[in-house]
Structure 1
Amino acid sequence: MNTGRCLCGGVTWVLAAEPFQAFNCHCKLCRKAHGTAFGTYWFFHAGEIRMTGGEDIAVDYRSSHMLVRKFCGACGSVVPYSGEADDQHAIAPGGCHDDGRPSDCNIFVPHGAPWHEVTGDLPRHHDYPPETGYPRVEEDPVPPPPPGVVRGWCMCGRVAFETTGPYGSAWNCHCGRCRRGRAAAHSSNALNDLRHLRFTQGVEHLKSFRVPDARCYTQAFCEVCGSKMPHVDSERTIAIVPLGILEDDPGIRPEAHIHVGSKAAWHVITDDLKQHDGASP
């Protein structure tokens, strides 16, 4: 039995069948929802995902004419939702599962983040694969930022921030917390000096969840749309910025995969970045 849960464990579910499709989606909305380079989605027929707890704390957010996304209102993790208005399909985030179907392809590749290179032999599509019949999704162009500024904002636009200083180290983390928190194959985070981060609007819509037994791990997100946001660590005077939320190129690239010993069995690392079973040395 393949069970899934969010980061806090408040929302739980069981998969009653194998997914009939599995995509890595690189579109901007999915990057914001997960805070990382791509979201991995498993597609099921209606009724094949059975929710076993926490439906009362799941929050709906319509991100397009096709999708009403769901996330846990307590911890921000993406959780299963219906794919289309007719409710004929259901979608589960692969990142909340240790085992499952490997991805079939990469979609919306031209919309991908400038800091992430798609590698490997999986097919690559500009949109949804033609055989699916799913309609094309467009992205609105964004004007360039002021010099020296890197901007980020959530899907609903209520929370926005900017950074004005260079980013420090960046990494892809495959630990169980990051996978469930981001509901993705891995998180992609970068460090920034707290003095260089400024929220320009919507601080009142920020929520955070700190894992009870963790020394530092905290997930910050917009309470309206669930987009992952920077976590302000005042004690260490740093901001941990989920790279997927950024509108602009931060000028840094992840330098390694860490906690690969906890990697999801369905995900294959295909790039040539350094890999560490635990934290980076």
Structure 2
Amino acid sequence: MIPSQFDYQTPATVDEALSLLAASPDTSKLLAGGQSLIPVMKLRMADPEHVIDLGKIDALRGIRQDGDRLVVGALTHHHEIATSPLVARLAPLLGKAAATVADSQVRHRGTIGGALVHADPAGDYPAPILAMEGEMVITGSGGTRTVSAADFFEDFFTTAVGDDEVLTEIRVPTFEGWGAHYEKFTRVAQQWSIVAVAAAVRMDRDRIAEARIGLTNMGPVPVRAAAAEQALTGGTASDVRDALSGVAEGTDPPSDVNGDANYRRHLAEVLARRAVTAAMG
């Protein structure tokens, strides 16, 4: 199928984009990389009258350090994040997750902001950013506000970004010196995650000083495995299996053609052990 007819607009600034949104918030869609929006428009699962392409707003691109935060512009492509030396040093978990997104073509076109606002439970950014306690900067006609990752993802394909707002940047604390790994399970290449686990670990000699764990596709929103993080703290490699035995407790994974909820809970435990072990080095 092809999309319904729509008006196409290309603002050059965030303010201009907000003005266009304000004119018709209920019938407009923002276009970032287009890797999520265009397919659903072709299927007519989305049928906007106005498409506002953010691609000319250079202020929404780039990766920089701001004190103890790594700042990533919402229009930054997955490939840039996956190959950035700054990301690899300050937020290695984010870079490892970006490298697993879809295929090379999508990684060169898709954007982190578009993926986050799309909020697919099987997407590869939400769990790592939740585990890193990241923040989303959202701009609207009323000004700019910052929303924690824990509050940003509200439900299936639903975020805190309003119809008249734009996600402008993502801010995560720096994790320099931490080990990190993103373990993703799919049946075929480039598939959405059936389950994935994001793990970041800070070691003190042979013991885990701190751990962060996020779960992908284990519910309608990403899940932080706080109890497992606590269980890991102070442990060694020999304690990992026992510490992660309850990593899927309290989750609400879907049941579909790729596996039922119990299968996903089992996968989460297996993948968590792999991810944490790899992050420990």
Could you say which TM-score interval applies, normalised by the shorter chain? under 0.3
- The two structures have a TM-score, normalised by structure 1, of 0.27
Largest Rg, 1 or 2 = 2
TM-score (norm 2): 0.27
* Structure (1/2) with the larger helix percentage: 2
Which structure would you say has the larger RCO, counting Cα contacts within 8 Å and 6 or more residues apart?
Answer: 1
Which one has the bigger strand percentage? 1
